[in-house]
Structure 1
Amino acid sequence: MVDLPDGGRVDAGTLTGVSETALLTLNGRAHQARHPRAIIDDPLAVRVADSIDFDFDKFGRRKGQEMALRSLAFDRAARDYLSAHPSATVVALAEGLQTSFWRLNAALPDARFHWLTVDFPPIIALRERLLPASDRVEVRAQSALDYSWMDEVDPADGVFITAEGLLMYLEPEEALDLIAECACRFPGGQMIFDLPPVLVKKFAPKGVRSSRHYRVPPMPFSLSPAELADLRRTVPGIKAVHDLPMPSGRGWFFGTVFPALWQFKPTKQIRGAYTLIEFG
């Protein structure tokens, strides 16, 4: 991370399309970290958001707990894997402006895991300006669908792959091929990803409008929890598929109702999903 002179800020106007959603999720996470009753400990997200020259009001009121809760679910799964594989490599696909490495590094005493960020060049350029350097973090400025990043990963000590906010923006065949290729290349590893409710692609084919000035890009890929569970049968190399629970948030709705609705059987197959896959 660079120190910006005279209170200057980094221009993020180069981000467009799906890459721009990195700013949306950063803003939501930073907002939740600033809250007096914060549900996520993420001071770096606050610092990064404050260092960016961007009109975050463009996104409207999308500062809810959902984005922070998603990061907490991903952190929990990563901690479980890294506790058993302390020298593993974490591959963060389309990482955007996530600050997961530093949260996990703080949460795991004597952390030794390595980190590989894979994202488009404009995102990588911003990360290099805004985030601290570490000799345990490497970057690849490329699409997650350019599988050459896999050649840089040493699977000897374990591999944990995150695709936070990625797969839903891919075409179905692209998303399924990425999952299958990871299963083939990294036996013994795990992969975590999230998907929106299956109705989103039907009722919002042009994307979800969050404000008068912003529409979230279209999300053509989603699967129900039952369809996700079936990947164990249809994709070689997948040993197990886990439908992860929703972490508890702040307040009556996000602390009690939302986690309960997440597991409510009559609506479970039309909600979104946090999915953890184990490779055989």
Structure 2
Amino acid sequence: MSHKQQVVLGEVQETLLIPLYGRAVEARKPRSVLRDPRSVEMVDSIDYDFAKLDSSNQALFACAMRTAIIDEWVRGFLAEHPSGTVVELGTGLNTRFDRVDNGTVRWIDIDLPDVIELRRAFFGDKDRYRMIAASITEDAWLDEVVRSGGPYLLVSEAVLAYLAEEDVRSLFRRVASRLPGAWVVTDTFSRMLVEQILARDVRKVMSMKMLWTCGDPREVERWGVGARLLETRNLGQPQAALRRRMPPVYRVGMAVADRLGGRRLDGYRLNLYKVAEPDK
């Protein structure tokens, strides 16, 4: 391209470029766990030195793998609720709507104003899809989600770890109060894993401030915020449907990783919760 999209983001927001590049790297492979041509187009059109992320190959694949696992949960929700509302909290440059759109879902992508401004260089609002510039620690976006109508699925991919624990608790409380019965997908990082992440090469190329750590996803249940854990997986435990679609070498690799490195992998969990009205 003769003109590339400039990127001006805050320190935390800049981390959205890591999963974007991870998906693009995986999508370029002849056989991959994730088909995401839009991510390739965006990487090619953004003025950013993505090559400096190449030293973190393992982290890049992990980004693609977690996205594929979350996609399966979204497809499962849409199988039960074809016209439900899916909300991406801290959407970054995710292309999930493009990958899982069933023709009837209502979709809302939420992120901070600088991120939404960047998204609008690549995406536009449609009848069933729109973007909202807002902080997920505030309440205004919830009014818009309620108006969209349920059932609801909220997805937060590599976002809540950048909030203080009390902000995460507050988010669950507010969702349970305003969207009772909603599904919530989010990931959790143990303290040890966060320390390892911050020591890796990727820490040298951009600032990362991960605040909330959670070594046990059931800890959220014990908060008394109305959340019940339905399912939890590490990256070596893809759903059966996803596993069947994976290239054979990936299926074998995931099985070996889960069997031999399960405890280490458990420092990072992908979790599916359901919320109800909190106890008064």
**Equivalent residues, number:** 265
Structure 1 position 244, deviation (Å)? 2.8
Pair 1:71–1:171, CA change in 2 (3 A): same
How does 1:172-251 map onto structure 2 within 5 Å?
A: 172-202=165-195, 207-211=198-202, 213-215=204-206, 217-224=208-215, 227-244=216-233, 246-247=237-238, 248=243
**Hey, what's the Cα distance between the residues in 2 that align with 1:209 and 1:171?**
22
CA-atom RMSD in angstroms: 2.5
Structure 1 position 138, deviation (Å)? 1.6
- The structure 2 residue matched to 1:160, chosen from 137, 153, 158, is 153
Deviating more after overlay: 62-71 vs 232-241: 232-241
Q: Indicate the residue corresponding to 2:5 in structure 1.
A: 10
**Hey, what's the Cα distance between the residues in 1 that align with 2:100 and 2:262?**
35
Instruction: Give the letter aligned to residue 48 of structure 2.
Output: F
Structure 1 position 7, deviation (Å)? 3.3
How does 1:28-43 map onto structure 2 within 5 Å?
A: 28-43=22-37
**Hey, what's the Cα distance between the residues in 1 that align with 2:256 and 2:166?**
32
Structure 1 position 118, deviation (Å)? 1.0
Asked if the contact 1:9–1:52 (Cα under 8 Å) also holds between the matched residues in 2, the reply is yes
Asked if the contact 2:184–2:273 (Cα under 8 Å) also holds between the matched residues in 1, the reply is yes
Structure 1 position 210, deviation (Å)? 2.2
- Gap regions ≥5 residues in structure 2: none
Asked if the contact 2:227–2:275 (Cα under 8 Å) also holds between the matched residues in 1, the reply is yes
**Hey, what's the Cα distance between the residues in 2 that align with 1:198 and 1:175?**
16
Q: Share of identical aligned residues, percent?
A: 27
**Hey, what's the Cα distance between the residues in 2 that align with 1:198 and 1:242?**
21
Moved over 6 A (4+): 263-266
Structure 1 position 209, deviation (Å)? 3.5
Structure 1 position 184, deviation (Å)? 2.2
**Hey, what's the Cα distance between the residues in 2 that align with 1:263 and 1:131?**
41
TM-score (norm 2): 0.84
**Hey, what's the Cα distance between the residues in 2 that align with 1:260 and 1:169?**
31
Structure 1 position 26, deviation (Å)? 0.5
**Hey, what's the Cα distance between the residues in 1 that align with 2:275 and 2:141?**
18
Deviating more after overlay: 178-187 vs 80-89: 178-187
Pair 1:144–1:166, CA change in 2 (3 A): same
Structure 1 position 237, deviation (Å)? 2.2
TM-score (norm 1): 0.84
Asked if the contact 1:48–1:131 (Cα under 8 Å) also holds between the matched residues in 2, the reply is no
- Gap regions ≥5 residues in structure 1: 1-5
Pair 1:270–1:10, CA change in 2 (3 A): same
Deviating more after overlay: 227-236 vs 46-55: 227-236
Structure 1 position 198, deviation (Å)? 3.1
